[in-house]
Structure 1
Amino acid sequence: MRGNTLSYGTRYLGRIQGIALLVGGAMLVGGCARLRPTADGELLGDDAVVAHARLLQMADTRAMDTLLVRQALAASTPSVRAAAALAIGQVSGRTLNHLARSLLADGDSAVAANAAYSLGLLRDTASVPALTGALGGRQSVAVEAAWALGQIGAPSRAAIEDALSKAALPEPVLASLLLATAKLRPVPVAQLIPFLRHSNAEIRWSAAYPVSRTLAPAGVRAMLDAARDESAPVRALAARALGRSATGDSLAAEALGALDTLARDSSAHVRINAVRSLASYGSAATTAVVALTADRDANVRIATAQILGTVLPPQRSVWISAWNADTAFMYRRSLLVSAVRAGAMLPALSPASADGWASHADWRYRAAAAEAGGSARSSSALLENALPHVGDADGRVRLAAYTAFATYADSSRFAWRNQILVPALNDPDFYVRATVLQALGSRASAAETPGILASYQRALADSLNDARIAAVRYLAAAWKRDSTNFPDSVRAMVQALKPSDDPLVRAEALESSIFSSWIAAPPGRRRLDWYQRKVRSVLLPALAGRPLSATIQTERGAMTVELFSIDAPLTVDNFASLARAGYYRNVQFHRVVPNFVAQDGDPRGDGNGGPGYAIRDELNRRRYGRGAVGMALSGPDTGGSQYFITHSPQPHLDGGYTVFGRILDGFEVLDALVQGDRILQVRIR
């Protein structure tokens, strides 16, 4: 999840950055010269260091080496065997599915659990019987087998439902099975409802999660009961589930009453979910929603401002009252967008106002004014609010303006191609160009390709690869849509482009036959000794019981983070290296979505910056519970410097984003963070 592409509940948490990944996989070497004791008393010699390094190298390059995996699984070192079992899933080693199935019975629970997790990553339908059998075995393996069955989805339905009918399951396995039903369509609501009365709050939450994501009337009634649960996380799920689209006419009045109560809940997370659902009831919820503009919690007020346009009329006076309720920037920024969407005009958007944001000295205010233009009901309002900012001196403000034009849901967008969007192909800001290229690509044509090629050439000097990837996507789309009109000279220009050394740009190009000449270009390579150094500096200390940890010192206090050096060693090393270099010092939390995530790591401050490279995903068995620390992405293998911390459990992110840490202390700081708050420093220990 990088930048603004990670939105509440669904999309990726990030953007694309450049990448430097690399290669290898070969024979394990022998010779145990030095032995290092691990926390379990395991002796880790040089041969095991090399084995771990080769497995890391293989996973980093996504180049499956079946001989290497088999040799690693035959090793005497437990941590090497466990890493090999995990690598099968990380590298999408479908040729080794049968081997992963056999590992479910391995005597080492870590190996067997990693094998089950890998089969879930691979979504191997042939593994359903083996995974079902594993549900009755060792608890750690059964938990992963249940998760894997959920990932496989429909072919696992009978196995999941049958297992849930058995009463003797350990509670962690039961919780994992309940969450697995969220992947089924339809969700077996009737079978889940009894678990909403379980004595264990975690079991109730695990049942409420899939039930809350369905529109089944029985599920909505169950969520009305869950709104009175003693557990705040369960009540938060109920609050989210009671939107107008779920309740229908028959349950709307009862649900509205429940939400009115939940909007006054002692938990801010519950109140945040409640106000979002209240918004779906329109004017019937006005009183309850407006009251939350004065909530004691800043993120509740921000969440309220974001949806206020759904319950308030466009009359200026009511919006002025809401504006005056809070002077904080993020509240007013959210309110500004809501007001424009509702057709109301606030003084902040008036050029004649002394408090006008359009000419504010702080770029964030000008960008917010431009952003608000993108919510306008009419193209004339969009032009009035966003057009003045396309010439702003700050690229982040120009980006907000061009984004408003690029995303405006009106056919008039295409009338702006030549006048507004096309000139931006030469903008100095790489992400302005990337955004415009993406917008133009929806109607890509052969006639525009010379200008796109020129923009690609300019992008070769960018530190990040967004504009290069966007240009390649445009050219591929133009070829697919308009190949008959491609002059031979233009096609020759495209095919004469030097193949990119960036694996992400290459991967995008190779989706289209217009880039067929790029196939022979090899990716870059990293030497094995690079990976060996990472094993010694990150993995070995963790295996010996001395994992790295971090303290994130913010304006609002400190958070202590346990780093998962065994589960995600390269990701932890990347984060630690950036922190030690001072990369995160004075960087803002550029994105805080209340009761979802707080995201940081972009020195630009608008969600579109990074270190100039990307790292591979290291998907692992860690889950996105409350306080999980994960890598922000825009797609597979696009992590860099941006990371996010979850306010509440987010099971839908499991297996999609690298979890590399968790908050141990400082949850009150996490909950208090507001978008724009700064990190003072990150210390690694």
Structure 2
Amino acid sequence: MNAVRLTAAALLLAACAPAADPSRPPSPSPGDGVTEAGLLRLADRRDFDEGYLRAGLAHRDPAMARRAAWVLANLRRAEGVALLGPVLAHRDTSVAATAAFALGQIADSAAVPLLVPYADAARAAAAPTVVAEAAYALGKIRHPQARAALETLLRTVDADGSGAREVAGAALLAIWRQGRPTPVDAIEPWIRHADPEIRWRAAYALARRPEPAATAALFRAAADPEPLVRSFVARALTGPMADSSGVGRQAAWQTLRGLAEDDPAQIVRINALRTLGTYPGEPTLRVLLGAAGSSEHPYEVIAALEGL
């Protein structure tokens, strides 16, 4: 009987409880009320609506959160840094990567300490896109901490590990933006990597801001099988750099002549012809006049004439 009475009492209490108000809406989820059209309107009007953007970043739909981060990237307002920082830890890596990209577009030094923990070799295998975008972003913000983080990333990421191509490739394309001196010791090992996609990025990083140590490293890659690597060698091997790097003017000139006359890739021949113009003298004149008079490719003729 006791069980029956308890059940009856429970039913009576349930019947007496106030009914739910059907007119009351359910509790809102994060980002409710944010639409893609609304976010695009902010971008079009260059309108920084902090509350709306914050709600967009917190939206339950990752696509909407990505769009909100993209809008902040387009607005490029320093106030966006504080909104984007927490999004770097978003469980959806595409959202986190877009937040890192946006911080790079804003390019405010306040973003550096937020980005540095994510430009970490330990994260490369699990979230390569996030690490890569953090590296790209740090490259756009010239700051000692950003430089140090990129150098550390290049020195510590596993060259053969998962995500190495994406992460190392991003760091190589970012590091040159930090200015001189070029950290040749951090870059040079990558120019010997088995993956040509990584090698040409390393060559680009070394060639982008010519320095003696970088020129010497590039000279050693003059016979690389990847045409893009050879093209950056040809671009960087100028007469003044050959002298100051210890490569030697004659050795560098011979290498450039071979690239200008015999390389199968047109981009390599064009760069070599242009760079030969930094070696004044009759031997250079003969090579350039020969190319200008015999080449069937107009861009090579133009490069030879520029060298003259």
Quick check: TM above 0.5?
A: yes
Structure 1 CA distance, aligned partners of 2:182 and 2:62? 39
Deviations 1:593-634 (A, max 9, x none): xxxxxxxxxxxxxxxxxxxxxxxxxxxxxxxxxxxxxxxxxx
TM-aligned CA deviation for residue 164 of structure 1: 1.7
Q: Structure 1 length normalisation: TM-score?
A: 0.37
Match for residue 132 of structure 2 among 134, 137, 143: 143
What is the match of residue 614 of structure 1? none
Aligned-residue CA RMSD (Å):
1.9
- Alignment of structure 1 residues 243-322 onto 2, 5 Å: 243-248=238-243, 250=246, 251-263=248-260, 264-283=262-281, 284-293=283-292, 294-305=294-305, 307-308=306-307, 310=308
Deviations 1:211-240 (A, max 9, x none): 112332221111111111110000000000
Q: Secondary structure at the match of 1:226?
A: coil
Letter in 1 for 2:167: V
What is the match of residue 234 of structure 1? 229
What is the match of residue 166 of structure 1? 156
Q: Is the 8 A contact 1:178 1:207 kept in 2?
A: yes
TM-aligned CA deviation for residue 209 of structure 1: 0.9
Q: Is the 8 A contact 1:85 1:100 kept in 2?
A: yes
Structure 2 CA distance, aligned partners of 1:57 and 1:209? 39
Percentage of pairs with the same residue: 35
Q: Is the 8 A contact 2:234 2:275 kept in 1?
A: yes
TM-aligned CA deviation for residue 115 of structure 1: 0.5
Q: Is the 8 A contact 2:57 2:69 kept in 1?
A: yes
Q: Is the 8 A contact 2:100 2:133 kept in 1?
A: yes
Structure 2 CA distance, aligned partners of 1:56 and 1:121? 17
Structure 2 CA distance, aligned partners of 1:256 and 1:154? 37
Tell me whether 1:153 sits opposite 2:142 in the alignment: yes
Deviations 1:492-534 (A, max 9, x none): xxxxxxxxxxxxxxxxxxxxxxxxxxxxxxxxxxxxxxxxxxx
Letter in 2 for 1:216: E
TM-aligned CA deviation for residue 289 of structure 1: 1.2
What is the match of residue 108 of structure 1? 92
What is the match of residue 46 of structure 2? 62
What is the match of residue 209 of structure 1? 204
What is the match of residue 119 of structure 1? 103
Structure 2 CA distance, aligned partners of 1:197 and 1:242? 18
TM-aligned CA deviation for residue 139 of structure 1: 1.0
What is the match of residue 87 of structure 1? 71
Residues 245 and 53 (structure 1), Cα distance of their counterparts in 2 relative to 1, 3 Å cut: farther
- Alignment of structure 1 residues 540-579 onto 2, 5 Å: none
Q: Secondary structure at the match of 1:271?
A: helix
What is the match of residue 51 of structure 1? 35
Letter in 2 for 1:300: E
Structure 2 CA distance, aligned partners of 1:62 and 1:226? 47
What is the match of residue 406 of structure 1? none
Unpaired segments of 5 or more residues in structure 1? 1-46, 311-685
Letter in 2 for 1:182: W
- Alignment of structure 1 residues 315-394 onto 2, 5 Å: none
TM-aligned CA deviation for residue 56 of structure 1: 1.8
Structure 2 CA distance, aligned partners of 1:191 and 1:135? 15
Letter in 2 for 1:271: R
TM-aligned CA deviation for residue 112 of structure 1: 0.7
What is the match of residue 483 of structure 1? none
Deviations 1:5-38 (A, max 9, x none): xxxxxxxxxxxxxxxxxxxxxxxxxxxxxxxxxx
Structure 2 CA distance, aligned partners of 1:236 and 1:99? 42
Q: Secondary structure at the match of 1:281?
A: coil
Q: Secondary structure at the match of 1:165?
A: helix
Which one has a bigger Cα radius of gyration? 2
Deviations 1:397-447 (A, max 9, x none): xxxxxxxxxxxxxxxxxxxxxxxxxxxxxxxxxxxxxxxxxxxxxxxxxxx
Say how many residue pairs are matched. Answer: 261
Q: Secondary structure at the match of 2:204?
A: helix
Structure 1 CA distance, aligned partners of 2:44 and 2:284? 51
Q: Is the 8 A contact 1:190 1:218 kept in 2?
A: no
TM-aligned CA deviation for residue 84 of structure 1: 0.3
- Alignment of structure 1 residues 18-37 onto 2, 5 Å: none
Q: Is the 8 A contact 1:189 1:216 kept in 2?
A: no
Structure 2 CA distance, aligned partners of 1:134 and 1:291? 53
What is the match of residue 557 of structure 1? none
Q: Is the 8 A contact 1:295 1:301 kept in 2?
A: yes
Structure 1 CA distance, aligned partners of 2:251 and 2:42? 56
Structure 2 CA distance, aligned partners of 1:133 and 1:196? 26
Letter in 1 for 2:169: A
Deviations 1:181-238 (A, max 9, x none): 1112211012211221111111111111121123322211111111111100000000
What is the match of residue 645 of structure 1? none
Does 1 or 2 have the higher relative contact order (CA < 8 Å, sep 6+)? Answer: 1
Q: Is the 8 A contact 2:295 2:301 kept in 1?
A: yes
Structure 2 CA distance, aligned partners of 1:209 and 1:104? 29
Tell me whether 1:224 sits opposite 2:224 in the alignment: no
Unpaired segments of 5 or more residues in structure 2? 1-31
Q: Is the 8 A contact 2:242 2:249 kept in 1?
A: yes
Structure 1 CA distance, aligned partners of 2:269 and 2:138? 34
Deviations 1:58-95 (A, max 9, x none): 11222211122122223333222101012112101321
Structure 1 CA distance, aligned partners of 2:40 and 2:304? 45
Tell me whether 1:196 sits opposite 2:183 in the alignment: no
Tell me whether 1:73 sits opposite 2:57 in the alignment: yes
- Alignment of structure 1 residues 421-432 onto 2, 5 Å: none
Letter in 2 for 1:154: H
What is the match of residue 628 of structure 1? none
Deviations 1:282-334 (A, max 9, x none): 234112212222223232123223x15x3xxxxxxxxxxxxxxxxxxxxxxxx
Structure 1 CA distance, aligned partners of 2:269 and 2:41? 46
Match for residue 169 of structure 2 among 168, 175, 179: 175
Structure 2 CA distance, aligned partners of 1:97 and 1:103? 10
Letter in 1 for 2:251: E
More helix by share: 2
Runs of 4+ in 1 over 4 A off after TM superposition: none
Q: Secondary structure at the match of 2:60?
A: coil
Structure 1 CA distance, aligned partners of 2:46 and 2:70? 13
TM-aligned CA deviation for residue 176 of structure 1: 0.7
